Amino acid sequence: MRIFHKFLLFNNFAPHKLRFHSIARPAFFKYYQQQQSQWKFSNIFLGFGGTGLLSISWFTSSKKDNDEINDANVDKIIRDADILYNAYLIDNAYGILRRYRSSENSELLWRLARVICEQGKQSKNVEEKNRLFREAFEIIEKALKCEPAKGSFGTHKWYAILLNIVSELDGDKAQLSKAVEVRNHFERALELDPLDATTWHSLGVWHYSFANLSTSQRFLAGIFYSRPPNSTYVEALRHFENAEAIKPGFYSANNYYMGLTLEQMNRHDEAKVQFILAFIAPVISMDDGEIHKKAFDHLHKKYRLTREQIMEEHGKNSKTFNK
């Protein structure tokens, strides 16, 4: 039984969910042209299917694992890794970052933890998936220990995400016992970067989950806390709306959870709009695919809508959907 919902995060930097034909491909190929002289490429495979996923495999130049880094090149490493991650070229981003596993640079370490976490999501083997999640958590723990005095937004954000994932693997009691720590790290991330939409979203999921706890779950929470954490749907909605105000349409999961929250507040017409937005959003990452399916299943079960009816309703109410 899941105590509270997992945080489905993919794109942390792009202002909107990327469509490969309009944004991601041009950005990647501009990057490729700039870096071509430094890389030795092998096979290149381009997929132009429904999701527009693009996969590129290369060998790096002569660099070895555990390369030393300095202030002069760390910005370039981060920029390269972020471009690949935001284009959902996860293994290629890992190929850049894995060399810095033994570094003490928190900005590199949290990015490495992030791509390993995504590899875990992609794995279809349960043991491999769980191993990767725990590996990512070990790295983010190191990133937190290496955090500079000025703070590291990404370190706190991904520590919260991975702590939630790993504690869920360890069972309901473990997840509840870490719940406040998860919230505190998300809140610290927002202190460092109050304009990060996905952190607002993640805190919204936290508040939704604790507003939605069952009686038995609240009793279990009382074992770990003298005052068990709780929240309200109003507070959850505030976080989701803040995320949307910062980056409209940035993440289908935000629309989906807004829909769930609005339903709990008996605002069903508004909820349906959010579920439709979640359904029609581009599917790029593993998280996108999961939300796309959940949104359709919910619209079909609760609102009795077929795929054709969903698209028809979206077309008829385009002004509402584009607000």
- Tell me the pLDDT tens digit for each residue of 271-306: 999 999 999 999 998 899 999 999 999 999 999 999
Estimate the crossing angle of helix 106-122 against helix 90-97, to 10 degrees: 150
Q: Which amino acid is at 90?
A: I
Strand partners, 44: 56
Residues whose CB is less than 8 angstroms from the CB of residue 8 and which lie 6 or more positions away in sequence, other chains included: 253, 287, 290, 291
pLDDT confidence of residue 72: 63
111 neighbors 157 (Cβ within 8 angstroms): no
pLDDT confidence of residue 68: 61
Rounded distance between C-alpha atoms, residue 121 and residue 115, angstroms: 10
How confident is residue 318, by pLDDT bands cut at 50, 70 and 90?
low
The CATH H-level superfamily of 20-250 is: Tetratricopeptide repeat domain (1.25.40.10)
Question: Across residues 223-247, what is the average pLDDT?
Answer: 95
Percent of the chain's residues with pLDDT above 90: 68
User: What is the CA 71 to chain-centroid distance, rounded?
Assistant: 28
- Tell me the pLDDT tens digit for each residue of 194-234: 999 999 999 999 999 999 999 988 888 888 898 889 999 99
Residues whose CB is less than 8 angstroms from the CB of residue 300 and which lie 6 or more positions away in sequence, other chains included: 306
Q: Which amino acid is at 34?
A: Q
How confident is residue 17, by pLDDT bands cut at 50, 70 and 90?
very low
H/E stretch holding 58 reads strand 54-59
pLDDT confidence of residue 38: 43
| DSSP secondary structure of 117-186 | HHHHHH---HHHHHHHHHHHHHHHHHHHHT--TT--HHHHHHHHHHHHHHHHHT-HHHHHHTHHHHHHHH
- Dihedral (CA of 53, 125, 293, 112) sign: negative
How confident is residue 322, by pLDDT bands cut at 50, 70 and 90?
low
Rounded distance between C-alpha atoms, residue 182 and residue 187, angstroms: 9
What are residue 45's phi and psi, to 5 degrees? Answer: -125, 125
pLDDT confidence of residue 315: 86
Q: Which of 14-23, 170-179, 182-191 has the highest mean pLDDT?
A: 182-191
Estimate the crossing angle of helix 106-122 against helix 286-303, to 10 degrees: 50
- Tell me the pLDDT tens digit for each residue of 38-95: 433 333 333 323 333 333 333 343 344 445 666 668 999 999 999 999 999 999 999 9
pLDDT confidence of residue 316: 79
Q: Which residue has the higher pLDDT, 222 or 169?
A: 169
- Distance, first Cα to last Cα, the chain: 37
Instruction: Write out the residue limits of the CATH 1.25.40.10 domain(s) in the chain.
Output: 20-250
pLDDT confidence of residue 10: 41
